[in-house]
Amino acid sequence: MSYLLEPLSTNNITLKNRLVMPPMATRKSKKDGRISKNILDYYDEKSRGGYISLIIIEHSFITKRGKASEGQLSVADDNLVEDLKKLSNIIHGNGSKTVMQINHAGSAASKSVTGYEPVGPSAVANPRISNVPKELTEKEIRDIIEEFKSAAHRVKEAGFDGVEIHSAHGYLLNQFFSPLTNKRTDEYGGDVLGRIKIHLEIIKAVRDAVGEDFPILLRLGASDYMKGGTTIEDSKIAAIEFEKARVDILDISGGFCGYTPPDVNKQGYFAPLTQGIKKVVSIPVILTGGITEVDSAEKLLSESKADLIGVGRAIYKDSKWAEKAIKSLK
């Protein structure tokens, strides 16, 4: 019996197996963030044969002010939807499901890319890049919530099977979640519930835009692994609230540490985080990080460390990884 080959169904989406390709920025978009032939070819190659049940498209900026880098994909304008449809069509044609990850970089953005001063929850340095942003006003926070909402609506219009809200790796929503960067004294700061108020408002706005039966995923940087940063205890509280707010799948990664924790290099290195979160929620949880062996994926699933397994760099390097993995189990 194989755990990886087991299908999984949740809110109007059925995944044929437990293998997920996590979002990985290709930086192959056109200058304005529009989809390029290079991107279409890349995702065609990765999804060929439909061996990966779910492909999460790389983080895409919801507004130019939140663009993280040159070459990043955009979901910031209605006129991009027709092009994005080509991407969902290719992946569906190959037999996989696909969702888009939507993001605002916050203080991780730079003026040289966006043309604007970077913004964040508070005017304190981003520990990853030591960049001090301008503190967002409540009005600006409301605008960003609307931008997430519009972006999610475009993702649905473009034919994707769901949308993923990015709150990991030190970007804007991670900056709100982390006490290292959120020093606000209004209702968007303070304890964990204050620091995830913006998340809950975005989830509600996105739900209003996409309807009841469209899957919403949230990628949570569940620990900063830094003194004074977020811990698994904060993330358990947040995960319970996200489930109540009707997030359908939680995708777990690191916070300000990025997608690798310090000093750990084993297969599924975020398993202590997913295991802790799985204990407090009943929605599916994705574990990604360091997994290159199909046996490790099987073992992590068999031990209930997660419900779905993300394999990133191994698939990035070898487009046949998924085919070989799935065939080895049949």
Ligand X SMILES: Cc1cc2nc3c(=O)[nH]c(=O)nc-3n(C[C@H](O)[C@H](O)[C@H](O)COP(=O)(O)O)c2cc1C
In the complex with ligand X, the residue whose CB is nearer, 26 or 122, is 26
Stretch near ligand X under the rule CB under 6 A, chosen from 38-46, 80-88, 90-98, 308-316: 308-316
- Interaction pattern, residues 96-135, with ligand X; x per rule: CB under 6 A: -----x----------------------------------
Stretch near ligand X under the rule CB under 6 A, chosen from 45-53, 77-85, 89-97, 289-297: 289-297
Stretch near ligand X under the rule CB under 6 A, chosen from 75-83, 179-187, 196-204, 285-293: 285-293
CB contact set of 54 (below 8 Å; sequence gap of 6+):
15, 19, 20, 21, 96, 97, 98, 99, 161, 308
Positions in 23-62 near ligand X (CB under 6 A): 23-25, 58-59
Shortest distance, position 73 Cβ to ligand X, whole Å: 9
Distance of CA 298 to the CA centre of its chain: 23
166 part of the interface to ligand X, by CB under 6 A:
yes
Token readout for 279 is 């204990």
In the complex with ligand X, the residue whose CB is nearer, 281 or 314, is 314
261 part of the interface to ligand X, by CB under 6 A:
no
CB contact set of 316 (below 8 Å; sequence gap of 6+):
24
168 part of the interface to ligand X, by CB under 6 A:
yes
271 part of the interface to ligand X, by CB under 6 A:
no
18 part of the interface to ligand X, by CB under 6 A:
no
Q: Is the dihedral of CA 133, 139, 142, 146 positive or negative?
A: negative
Q: Classify each residue of 241-279 as buried b or exposed e, where b means 16 or more C-beta atoms within 10 Å of its C-beta.
A: bbbebebbbbbbbbbbbbbebeeeeebbbbbebbbbbbe
Residue of 3, 13, 22, 91 interacting with ligand X (CB under 6 A): 22
268 part of the interface to ligand X, by CB under 6 A:
no
Residue indicated by tokens 């755990």: 3
Q: Backbone dihedral region of 273: left (phi > 0), alpha (psi from -120 to 50 degrees) or beta? A: alpha
Q: How far apart are alpha carbons 147 and 142 in whole angstroms?
A: 9
Confirm whether 171 is a catalytic residue. Answer: yes
Chain residues that interact with ligand X, rule: CB under 6 A: 22-25, 58-59, 101, 166, 168-169, 219, 253, 259, 288-291, 310-313
Q: Could you give the residue numbers annotated as active site? A: 171
